[in-house]
Amino acid sequence: MLRGAEQWLWPYLTRERHRVKISPNQPLHACIAVCDHFEPLHHTDKAGALRAIGDWQKNWPNLVSQNRDSGGRGPRHTYFYPIEQYDGDLLAPVAELCARTGSEVEIHLHHDNDTEETVTKLLTDGVENLARHGLLSRADDGSPKYAFIHGNWALDNSRPDGRWCGVSNELTVLRRTGCYADLTMPSAPDPCQTCTLNAVYYAREDGCAKSHDHGIPVQAGKTAALRDEADQLLLIQGPLGLNWKRRKWGVLPRLENGDLTGANPPTIQRMRLWLELCPRVKDGAPWVFIKLHTHAGIPQNYRTLLGDPARRFYQGLADLAASWPGFHYHFVTAREMVNLIHAAEDGKTGSPSEWLDYRHRRPPVLG
C-alpha cells in the first residue's frame, strides 16, 4: 500500500496516540518550525539560484510582516544550506534576509563514500563558512553551534545500500563539530526511515549504521543529563502517519510526512493531523513540536510557501485560534524549537515565547 511502510507502519499503528483536548483551562501550544532543505542550485546554475533567492528577498518579508502568531511574531523559516555547495555570493543575501525577518540558517550536507576524517573536514569547513556570515549560534567560548539535516536522508550511514554517507559513527562526528540536534527525520517513504517515529529523543552512537533507529524519549526531569554526553544526539522528528482525509484513488490514505510542496501545501486539515502526530516532551508543558520540511529553493515549492497557499494557511491558523479557546500557535526556528524542548525537559511551563533563547543563543547576525 505504501512504499517503505515496513520500516514504520507497525510502530505507527501500535503507538501511544495523542488526544487533542483544548480548552481555556487546558491550553495547547503548537510550536511550528519549517526546516528547509534549501538547495537553490538544484537543477539550475548560479544565475538561477540568485533568482530564487531574489524571490525570497522580495516576497518573504511581506509575509512575515502581514501575519502574526499568538505571541505577535511573524512566520520564521530555517534555511538548512548545503555546505558542500557553499558560495559566498549566495549566502550573503540569505544572511541579510535572516537579519530582516528573524529567520535563520543551519547546516545541510550531502556526501557519499566518506570516512570519519573526510566528513569531519566537510563539517568543520562548512561551519566556518557559515559562521563567517554571522550565521549559527555560539557557545560560551564563541565556537559556532548548529542544527543539522542530512542530505538524501542517510544519517549515520542508514541507507541499506550504503550510499550517500559511509560514516557509521556520524552522530559522534556531528557532536564533536558542534551539532546540538538533528532534524532529518522523517524520511518515509525512503528506506532510511527509522523505526522510531513522531518523537523527540536522544540517540546514542554505537558505532554501527543507523544508531538513531531507537533512542530515549525526552522526558521532563529525567533526561537533561543526556544532552551533554558526547555520544548522545538529540533528534527532532516531524509528523509521520496516514492521512485519511487525503486519499489516493479516493480509497487509500496518503502518506503524511510533513513535506510542504507545490502539490501538497500546508493546510488547516493537515495542521489538525500534525497536532495528533507530532511529539511532546513526556511529562512536560503542553507544547506540541511541529517540525515540517520542504525544498524551497525549488520554484514549484517556494511559490507555494511565498504565495496564496501560505497566506490561506496563516489566516486559517488565526481563525483556528480565534474559534478554539486555549489553542495557541508559535512560529519558531529550528534553534528555537531545540531550546523549547530543553526548557520543557527542565520543567519550564507557560508560553513558549518566554524560552526561545533558553540554551542556544541567537546567531550574531540577529543580535
Segment 2-12 mean pLDDT: 80
Q: Where are the alpha helices (DSSP H) in 3-152?
A: 9-13, 46-66, 88-101, 116-131
Determine the pLDDT at residue 366.
Answer: 82
Determine the pLDDT at residue 291.
Answer: 98
Alpha-carbon distance 61 to 23, whole Å? 33
Residue 81 has pLDDT above 80, yes or no: yes
User: Per residue in 318-328, pLDDT tens?
Assistant: 999 999 999 99
Determine the pLDDT at residue 367.
Answer: 77
Determine the pLDDT at residue 14.
Answer: 85
pLDDT band at 30 (very low <50, low <70, confident <90, very high): very high
Determine the pLDDT at residue 241.
Answer: 95
3-state secondary structure of 74: coil
Determine the pLDDT at residue 130.
Answer: 98
Residue 46 has pLDDT above 70, yes or no: yes
Q: Mapped to the 3 state alphabet, what secondary structure does 129-167 carry? A: HHHCCCCCEECCCCCEEEEEEEHHHCHHHCCCCCCCCCC
Determine the pLDDT at residue 10.
Answer: 85
Determine the pLDDT at residue 288.
Answer: 98
Distances (CA, A) of 250 to 173, 244, 272, 282, 297: 46, 10, 20, 36, 31
**Mean pLDDT of all residues in the chain?**
95
Q: Which amino acid is at 175?
A: R
pLDDT band at 293 (very low <50, low <70, confident <90, very high): very high
Q: Which amino acid is at 212?
A: H
Residue boundaries of the structural domains of the chain: 5-13+29-366
Measured in degrees and rounded to the nearest 5, phi and psi for residue 69 equal -85, -170
Place of cell 527525520: 185
pLDDT band at 245 (very low <50, low <70, confident <90, very high): confident
pLDDT band at 19 (very low <50, low <70, confident <90, very high): confident
Determine the pLDDT at residue 15.
Answer: 79
Residue 21 has pLDDT above 90, yes or no: no
**CATH number corresponding to 5-13+29-366:** 3.20.20
Please provide the DSSP assignment of 228-262 as one string. G-TTEEEEE----EEEEEEEETTTEEEEE--EE-S
Q: Are the CB atoms for 28 and 20 separated by under 8 Å?
A: yes
User: Per residue in 188-228, pLDDT tens?
Assistant: 999 999 999 999 999 999 999 999 999 999 999 999 999 99
pLDDT band at 355 (very low <50, low <70, confident <90, very high): very high
pLDDT band at 340 (very low <50, low <70, confident <90, very high): very high
Residue 234 exposure: Cα atoms within 13 Å on the Cβ side: 26
Nearest CA to 59 out of 107, 108, 103, 106 is that of 103
